[in-house]
Amino acid sequence: MFFDDRLATVLRQRATGEASLRTQYRQLLDLLGRERVHHPGGDQSLLAAAWLRLDALAEEIPAATRARMIREPGWRFRNPDLAAHLADQEPDVAAAALTRADLSTEDWSALIPRLPVRARGFLRLRRDLPVDVEALLARLGVHDRGLPAPTSAPAEPEIAAAPAPAAPIPLRPVQLRPVPAPEPAPAQPATRDDTGRTEISALVERIAQFRRTRTETQAELERSPRLPLGELPERAERSVASFGFASDTTGRIAWAAAEVAPMVIGVRLFAAQPAGASETDSAALARAFARRQPITRGAITLAGAPAITGDWIVDAEPRFSEDGHFTGYFGRFRRAPDPAAATAPSGPEAREADRIRQLLHELRTPVTAVQGYAEVIQQQLFGPAPHEYRALAAAIAADAARILAGFEELDRLARLETGAIRIEPGETDLAALLRRTAAQLDPVLAPQDAGIALEFAESSAMLVGLDAEDAEALVWRLLASLASAAAPGERIALRLDPLIGKGDALARLVCSIPARLAGDSNLFAATTRGVESAISPGLFGTGFALRLARAEAQAAGGGLRHEGDTLVLTLPLLSGMTPSRGALEA
């Protein structure tokens, strides 16, 4: 039942943005790629839903991205059904899947005849197939791939001139006669290795294997020097934020973290500083070095490569050998604070928000540990556990996940209200997003004859300058807060129209407030929670969810206000988009 539990958990997740789509696709690959386990009375509808979700995600994720996820180093799958499923997709995906499949001889023998003809050829690129499988491929006519035989080029015509006579005669025109093509040399048999493959096919295999196993992460690309051959765009220099180091007895850096070692090894830390460092800073560092004292928050300026150039704060401790001899310093550099950061909010609210963020950071550690131990018990990683214990562990892990989600919401609100983060600009069709979110909520509201009424045209569109994921989170938070408080038979009306002012172009969404929330004078501090509703605005209830939605709207350049019996959300329209009111009316 472990497989079914995990699969049901993944299918319950709501994948919206690009990152969450990729995450859910990877999770389904892991679960469906396990060896097939037959459970008495197993829920086959759950597996069917998983295959359908995998196909739906494949339509949203490009084939190259899916192939790259399948080719991740160290990942293999043992389910022949997954191999057959992926082999019917794009060539890149099929090739990656048949490369990563780790099946038994019996599974290969049953799978290969079911594969599409074009997919069988990808198996010839593998060198680790069992002998019986190689023989089966040979019987099916799946041979090595090779380069086509070269065709003989047409012979160039030879220019021949008439021989010059002894006596001068009038010039004669030049004659052209074709030279017959030489007889083709007899074809030489291709040399074959011990496996029976030709040299060309072996070379093709080596190139394909190199491409499959080569993985270049973004960090590797940034650290690896490349010749300017034009195949990749020029990368911007990455500024290092901190690094560890060790110095010798003369104060020169003898060791540093790998990413900065070529830039800083050999630099003398306690020599005269470049222009910009005060005399006091240099003297204090030199005095501490001469006395072999610890260095705390020492100011120093490094020059050289752009990644390390600038002002730094250094903390270091002296090192001594077993005989008591001084051997140098070891410590850490970190970037000096940016003077522009002094303009950030620094009032009581900012300090309180900073304390909340620090508290949340301290609370995450024990909650994460509790969640990890609960998952160990529930998944029986260290041995069998009674079903009662596994059920309790699953409930604890779920509660811990909800608590961590609540911590994320608190941290996001604190960062938004203090300006520590901002909403990324982008492009989102607000009208289409409202229609899609309402369609997700309607099946839950329909049993109690409640729902969401869209009072704008079905074909209307209104583009706002907001990132798609941020916009979807904001709209869901707002509508879920209202829908969770809806009473039986109650309809929540949504009206969308443009609001054009002097220098401003906003999209305005007017939402009616359910009766259960209408009595709260301060809606953003309401403690109302949905009663027996599958819709949850968040861990802390409606008031907190609306306050977070207001902070997100303000960070995006809009706002969320309580006006009478309505909530009014405003978001900036995308530049140049000023739809007329008539285009939005139903």
Distance CA 172, CA 174 (A): 7
Is 185 in a helix, a strand, or coil?
Answer: coil
Last residue of a domain, one of 89, 123, 139: 139
Residue 213 has a pLDDT of 56
What's the total number of domains in the chain?
Answer: 4
Both tokens assigned to 91: 């060539």
User: Which structural domain, as residue segments, surrounds residue 551?
Assistant: 428-583
Res 112: pLDDT: 87
Same domain membership, residue 501 and residue 447: yes
Strand 559-563 and strand 491-500: the pairing is unpaired
Of the candidates 561, 553, 547, 545, which has an alpha carbon nearest to the alpha carbon of residue 423?
A: 553
Measured CA to CA, the distance from residue 3 to residue 36 in angstroms comes to 10
One domain, residues 384 and 434: no
Same domain? For 498 and 542 the reply is yes
Do 553 and 437 belong together in one domain?
Answer: yes
Cα separation, 548 vs 542, in Å, equals 10
pLDDT in tens, the chain (586 residues): 334 567 778 887 777 778 888 888 888 888 888 766 444 444 577 788 888 888 888 888 999 999 999 888 778 888 888 988 898 888 889 888 888 888 888 888 888 888 888 788 778 777 778 888 888 888 877 665 444 445 554 444 444 444 444 444 444 444 444 444 444 444 444 445 444 556 666 666 666 666 655 544 444 544 555 555 544 444 445 568 889 999 998 889 999 988 889 999 998 887 544 444 444 566 778 888 888 888 888 888 888 888 888 889 999 999 988 888 899 998 999 888 765 544 445 566 666 667 777 777 788 888 888 888 888 888 888 888 888 889 999 999 999 888 888 888 888 888 787 777 777 778 889 999 999 999 988 888 888 888 888 888 887 888 888 888 888 888 988 888 888 888 888 888 999 988 876 667 888 999 998 888 877 777 787 665 555 567 777 777 788 888 888 988 888 888 998 888 888 999 988 865 555 444 455 4
In a domain, 48, yes or no: yes
Q: Are residues 433 and 579 in the same domain?
A: yes
CATH number for position 456: 3.30.565.10
Contacts of 549 (CB under 8 A, 6+ apart): 474, 477, 478, 481, 560, 569
92 shares a domain with 25? yes
User: Are 309 and 413 within one domain?
Assistant: no
Would 71 be classed as within a structural domain? yes
Largest CA distance in the chain: 124
Output the six-digit token pair for 584: 């939005």
- From 340, 356, 390, the end of a domain falls on 340
Q: Does residue 236 form part of some domain?
A: no
CATH for 261: 3.30.450.20
335/349 same-domain check: no
Residues 336 and 348 occupy one common structural domain: no
Closest CA to 498 of 415, 571, 586: 571
Q: Is residue 228 part of a domain?
A: no
How many Cβ atoms sit within 10 Å of the Cβ of residue 35?
13
**16 and 117 inside one domain:** yes
- Of 398, 418, 438, which closes a domain? 418
Beta strands in 461-500 (DSSP E): 463-464, 491-500
Tell whether 81 is covered by a domain.
yes
Q: Given this model, what pLDDT does residue 413 score?
A: 84
Looking at the structure, tell me whether residues 316 and 406 fall in a common domain.
Answer: no
405 and 515, same domain (yes or no): no
**Residues near 584 by beta carbon (within 8 Å), at least 6 away in sequence:** 431, 456, 457, 460, 462, 496, 497, 498
Give the pLDDT of residue 217: 44
DSSP per-residue codes, 394-421: HHHHHHHHHHHHHHHHHHHHHHHHHTSS
Question: Is 305 within a domain?
Answer: yes
Residue 259 lies in a domain: yes
| Residue 166 is assigned to a structural domain of this protein | no
